[in-house]
Structure 1
Amino acid sequence: MEHFDTIFQRAAQRHGGEKKLMALIATPLATPEQLAAVSDDRWLSSFTMSLFQSGFVWRVIRNKWPDFERAFFGFDPQKMLMLDDSHFERLNNDVSIVRHARKIAAVPANARMILELGQPYGGFGAFVAQWPTDDITGLWLTLKKHGYLLGGNIGPYALRRLGVDTFVFTGDVCAYLRHHQVVDAGLGSQKGLRQAQTAFNEWQAQSGLSLSQISKTLAFSMG
């Protein structure tokens, strides 16, 4: 496996030097205290945004997001559990949002997940805050297991949006991991996730950078 210094230097050469690369990979991260303070409705909003952006034009979802917030009552998890069939029917016919029945149905399911996982910690943010970053893929798997339609990059993108330090399997990151034989299993498999996590942990020990910065550096070393 390449030492991270080699990866970083190649990325810097391709993107105008170390200073410019550091600006490109900068990612705002939240402290554990800040994550714990994020309210449950903001987690549900972020998961829902990533879910609707998956397979769709991101800009369109961002532009429509105020209407999503209105339609889903600010993504209050308790209110989402009270939605009845008539409200789902209205949502599925609401032209101000993207009408996708499975994704709309995922909102109350993920609201339940947020409430259940957060309950022992006093909130979902506190649950996330205590999760060790050297097992961030374990958090991905937990979201996939207990949530609905939160597999792939949907969970990681939602987490990163709120300041969680996580890598993301973008096309360039996947290409790097496969080309350099960092993983020899599917990146959606538990073996592949463990191999990727081990590599990112080693690169973090070598560089002192965040998982997000390392992830972006891998991408810039390829493209």
Structure 2
Amino acid sequence: MAREKFAQIYARAAERKGGESVLESMLSTPLSSEQLKLIGDDRWLAAFTQKVFQSGISWQVVRNKWPNFEEVFFGFDIEKMLLMPTEMWERKATDPAIIRHLGKVMTIPENAHMIHQASVSHGSFASMVADWPQDDITGLWRYLKKHGKRLGGNTGLYTLRIMGKDTFILSQDVESYLRNTSIIDGGRDTLKSLNATQAAFSEWQQESGRPLCQISQIIAFSNGDNRI
């Protein structure tokens, strides 16, 4: 089956959403490389931690508690996170000011270590993320999964999107489209599927000149139960 041209996908999404102007108003804009590099390592750790805690829990509950997380974990200062002994982490995991979950709390020092190592190699974690090539964005996903803790699945890539890194998202609608068009036919997170998905998005990006995040959103809007 020939891969659908992006212009066809866009036209279908615009029709479903009530026109091109409406569709365009719904699209995200990623940060530039220069803007991304201004984000501090502490903010990356905070973002990863928030997304880890939101997994399986109401996102709003986590947001409501978030000021307490910032206080309990010293603003996610990387050096302080790396110096805390295990006993202190265990105590903090029982603090009623936060959501008490030892397993998720213990992702903080591990992800702090990942961020620190990247900073040593690249000057900052943000610099590594900003310089990561768009034609290998799934490679960045794999990096987060391998070197971080609980950053596989959609957790790592949603955090990238929230922080402004240009990435597509394998949402339910996007995955459904990829399967319906036979771009992927096996496990979503297998290397074969990720490579096929990356190749398709790279091709659509060359056709459209759009950032990956917009391509991802337009595909989602063109497919599935999301009509206006």
TM-score of Structure 1 vs Structure 2, range by shorter chain: over 0.9
What is aligned with 1:61?
A: 62
User: Which of these residues, 12, 28, 33, is aligned with residue 10 of structure 1?
Assistant: 12
| Inter-partner Cα distance in structure 1 for 2:56 and 2:182 | 28
Q: Determine whether 1:145 maps to 2:146.
A: yes
Per the alignment, residue 189 of structure 2 pairs with 188
Q: TM-score, normalised by structure 2?
A: 0.94
Paired residues for 1:109-188 under 5 Å: 109-188=110-189
- TM-score normalized by the length of structure 1: 0.96
In the alignment, structure 2 segments of 5+ residues that lack a partner are none
Which residue number corresponds to residue 41 of structure 1? 42
Report SS of the residue matched to 1:81.
helix
Q: Which residue of 2 aligns with 1:78?
A: 79
**Cα deviation per residue 1:38-97 (whole Å; 9 max; x = unaligned)?**
110011111111111112111111121111111111111111112223322322212221
Cα distance in 2 for partners of 1:31, 1:148 equals: 27
Structure 1 residue runs of 5 or longer lacking an equivalent are none
Q: Sequence identity of aligned pairs in percent?
A: 49
- Work out the CA distance in 1 between the residues paired with 2:110 and 2:210: 35
2:26 corresponds in structure 1 to 24
- Deviating 4+ runs (over 3 angstroms): none
Q: Is the 8 A contact 2:205 2:211 kept in 1?
A: yes
Give the number of aligned pairs.
222
The 8 Å contact of residues 29 and 213 in structure 2, kept in 1 or not, is answered as: no
**Aligned alpha-carbon RMSD (Å):** 1.1
- Amino acid in the other structure paired with 1:44: L
Deviation at 1:182, TM superposition (A): 1.3
Give the Cα–Cα distance (whole angstroms) in 2 for the partners of residues 195 and 55 of structure 1: 29
Partners of 2:219 and 2:12 in 1: CA distance: 9
